[in-house]
Structure 1
Amino acid sequence: MSKSTLESLLPTGAIAAQPSYVVLPRASESSTVYPTVLAFLIDKFPQISPSAWDQRIKEGKVHWQDGQSIDCQSEYAATKRVYYYREVAVEKKVPFTEQILYQDDHKIIVYKPHFLPVTPGGNYVNECLVHRLRIRTGIDTIAPAHRLDKDTAGVMLMTVNPDTRHAYHQLFLDGKIKKTYQAVAELPQDFALNQTMLPHHWTVKNRLERGTPSFIMQIVDGPSNSHSEITLLKINNNLGLFELEPVTGKTHQLRVHMQSLGMPLLHDRFYPRLQAKDDDDFDKPLQLLAQRLQFVDPITNEVNDWCSEGLTM
C-alpha cells in the first residue's frame, strides 16, 4: 500500500485508519453461546453501546479477514477473526515525534517518545507509533517486536517483513535481547547513601500478578516470576538516577520493583497509588526510558547495539 493511499485513509474524525481484530473463541473457551457476531461484540466490548455496534456494522466498518462485510445477522464462527475500526469521540495529539534510528528490509529501530502508545488503545486510535511509522514510510506491514508502555520512552525494535518477523519475536522468547533502562526516582528521606558510596545495587525478585483494576500489577505471595537488576548511579539532592535491567518481562515490572524499594518513579500515575484518570500532562512524563537495546540480528548475524540519550535530573 502506498503512502498516498495510507494518507487517504486518515479520517476527519477519530476513527482508526488501521483495523484491529478479535478472534472468536471456541465454545470451550467461553461460557456464553453467541448466535451472531454482533451479539459477541456487544458482550465483548460493554463500553461500546449496542446501537454503536449496529451503526458500525451498517457502515461497513466490521468485516472478516478476507474483507467480506459482516452484517447484523452474520452467524458466529469460532476461531475466525473479526476486524473492526476503533473510534473515539476526541483524539488528543501527542506533541512529540518518533525518530527512526535505522531501517533495513527486515527491521526498523526507532525511538518512541513518552505518551505515544505503540498500538491503538484507550483514547488513541491513530496517534500511535505503528500508524505514524506506516504513514511516514509507506510500509503497511510494520509491527512491533515487543511491548513498551505508552508512558515509557525509548528504543524499540519494529519488524517490517512478515516472512522474517517470527525470527525477531524468537529473540525475546529465547532471552537473546538485552534491554537496559534508565529511571529517575525520589529517594526516601532517610536514605543514607552519598555519592562516594555509588554505584549501589539491588536484585529484586518477587511474584507479580494483576490487581484491581486489572491493568495494575501487585506483588503477591508465591514463587517469584519477575527479576530485575537495579543500580543507583547518581544522587542529586533528593533524586536518584538508576540503571535497570529487567531479566524477565512482566507488565509494569520495573515500576513495581522500584516501588517495592520505596522509590517509585517520578511522575508515575499508577504506583504507589493509582491516580484519578485525567488528561496527560505533557510537562511531566514518567521518568522511565528504554535507553539501550542489544541483540544479534537473526537474519544478518550482525551485532546490534542501539542507545538513546539518557535521562537528566
Structure 2
Amino acid sequence: MPSPLPVRDGVGATRLHVPLRGAWPTISAYMVERFFHLDPERLLVRFDRGEIVARDGSPLTRETPLGAEEFVWYYREPPVETEIPFEIEVLHQDPDLVVIDKPHFLPTTPGGKYLQNSALVRLRRLLGNDELTPIHRLDRATAGLVMFSARAQTRGAYQLMFENREVEKVYEAVSARPRDGVLPAFPLVYRNHIVKDRGHVCVRVDAERIPNSETRIELIAADEDVVHTLLRPHSGKMHQLRVHLAALGLGILNDGFYPVLLPERPDDFERPLQLLARRLRFVDPLSGEPREFTTRRRLAFAP
C-alpha cells in the first residue's frame, strides 16, 4: 500500500492500522490509548497541525470519527538518538541492487531509539535514493552483508529468492570454549523448533514440536579460550544462530540474550556481538548470472 507521504530525510512515513469499530468515538481517542506512553495533548496537537493523514493524503482532525479510515499515516517524531560511531560500507551498487557491509550496533531499519542511526536511512541519504528497501535484515548486534533493492520494479524478484531459500548465506561466530574444554564433533547439523512469543525479546525452543530451524556448523579454529565457527543456516528463524550455538554450550561472545537474558545496558562499543554475516551467494534473478559477495569485516575476538 503506497504511502501518501513522501520519504523525508531518508525516513518513510509510518502506517497505522485503525479498527473500524470499537469503544473509541474518534481515531484520535484510539491513538491516545494505543500510544498511552506518550503525552496525550502532544499527540492531539499533531492532529491540529495536519500531521496525521488518510490514504489520500488529506489531514485528519481530533474529531474524525472511528471508522472513517482503516489506515493512517504520519512521520515518527525523531527520538533523541545515541550516535552509532561506525559507518556502512557500500560493496556493490547497480540500478537494481545495493550490497553493504553493516557494522555492529547499527540497526538495518528504523525502530525504537534509532531513526537516523539505521543502515536504511544512512544509505538513502548517502546514495540519494528514497526507493532503497532492505531485501532481508540483520539484527542490530550482528555485522556483515545486507542487500537492498534499489527500485520497486525489480524488488519482488530479489525478495522471492529469500522466500524460496535460493540464497546461500554463510556466517561466522566466536564463542567461549565450554568449561570442560570438550568441543562438539564438527561438522554437525543442529535442528530445533524455535517459537517467537508476542511481547518477548527472546525466542524459546519447543522440544515437543518438529524442528523448524536448521544450521550446519563447521569449525574454523579454536584455542584454549574461544571457538571460531562457520555457520550455514538452512532456515532463517529469529535469533536462530545464537540459539543453536547456545544450545551446544557455545554461546556467542558478548551475547546479552542467549543462553541467559541479561539486564539491558548501554552499548559497549569495545565488546560487539561476535557474529558476522560473511558471504551471500545466489543466481541473479534478472541476469541469470551467479553472484557472490563477501564481507570485509573481521571478528575482533577470533583466534
Query: Is the structural similarity TM-score above 0.5?
Result: yes
Aligned to 2:166: 176
Pick closer, same or farther for the CA change 1:163–1:226 going to 2, 3 Å: same
Instruction: Specify the SS of the correspondent of 1:87.
Output: coil
- Asked if the contact 1:25/1:78 (under 8 Å) is kept, the reply is no
Q: Mind listing any 5+ residue stretches in structure 1 that lack a counterpart?
A: 11-15
Pick closer, same or farther for the CA change 1:275–1:52 going to 2, 3 Å: farther
Structure 1 residue 74 corresponds to structure 2 residue 64: yes
Identity percentage over the alignment?
34
Structure 1 residue 281 corresponds to structure 2 residue 268: yes
Aligned to 2:33: 43
Matching residue within 247, 250, 259 for 1:263: 250
Matching residue within 106, 113, 116 for 2:103: 113
> For residue 291 of structure 1, what is the amino acid of its counterpart?
R
Which string of whole-angstrom CA distances, capped at 9 and with x for unpartnered residues, describes residues 3-32 of structure 1?
A: xx98xx55xxxxx843222233566xxxx4
Which string of whole-angstrom CA distances, capped at 9 and with x for unpartnered residues, describes residues 66-86 of structure 1?
A: 332222222344884322222
Which string of whole-angstrom CA distances, capped at 9 and with x for unpartnered residues, describes residues 31-86 of structure 1?
A: x4544322332333333332332133333332234332222222344884322222
Pick closer, same or farther for the CA change 1:295–1:121 going to 2, 3 Å: same
Matching residue within 199, 205, 210 for 1:219: 205
Structure 1 residue 24 corresponds to structure 2 residue 18: yes
Pick closer, same or farther for the CA change 1:245–1:41 going to 2, 3 Å: farther
Matching residue within 36, 41, 46 for 1:56: 46
Which string of whole-angstrom CA distances, capped at 9 and with x for unpartnered residues, describes residues 246-284 of structure 1?
A: 111111111111111111110011112222222211111
Normalised TM-score (structure 2): 0.89
Return the offset for 1:296: 1.3
Structure 1 residue 239 corresponds to structure 2 residue 220: no
> For residue 205 of structure 2, what is the amino acid of its counterpart?
I
Equivalent residue runs for 1:129-148 within 5 Å: 129-148=119-138
- Asked if the contact 2:79/2:114 (under 8 Å) is kept, the reply is no
Structure 1 residue 206 corresponds to structure 2 residue 186: no
Quote the RMSD (CA, aligned, Å).
2.4
Aligned to 2:114: 124
Aligned to 2:176: 186
Which string of whole-angstrom CA distances, capped at 9 and with x for unpartnered residues, describes residues 147-193 of structure 1?
A: 21111111011001111111111111111111110110001121235
> For residue 210 of structure 2, what is the amino acid of its counterpart?
P
Find the aligned partners of 2:228 and 2:272 in 1 and give their Cα distance.
Answer: 15
Find the aligned partners of 2:19 and 2:138 in 1 and give their Cα distance.
Answer: 27
Return the offset for 1:90: 1.8
Q: Does 161-170 or 51-60 show the bigger shift?
A: 51-60
Aligned to 2:3: none
> For residue 158 of structure 1, what is the amino acid of its counterpart?
F
Aligned to 1:99: 89
Normalised TM-score (structure 1): 0.86
Q: May I ask how many residue pairs the two structures share in their alignment?
A: 294
Return the offset for 1:286: 0.6
Aligned to 1:13: none
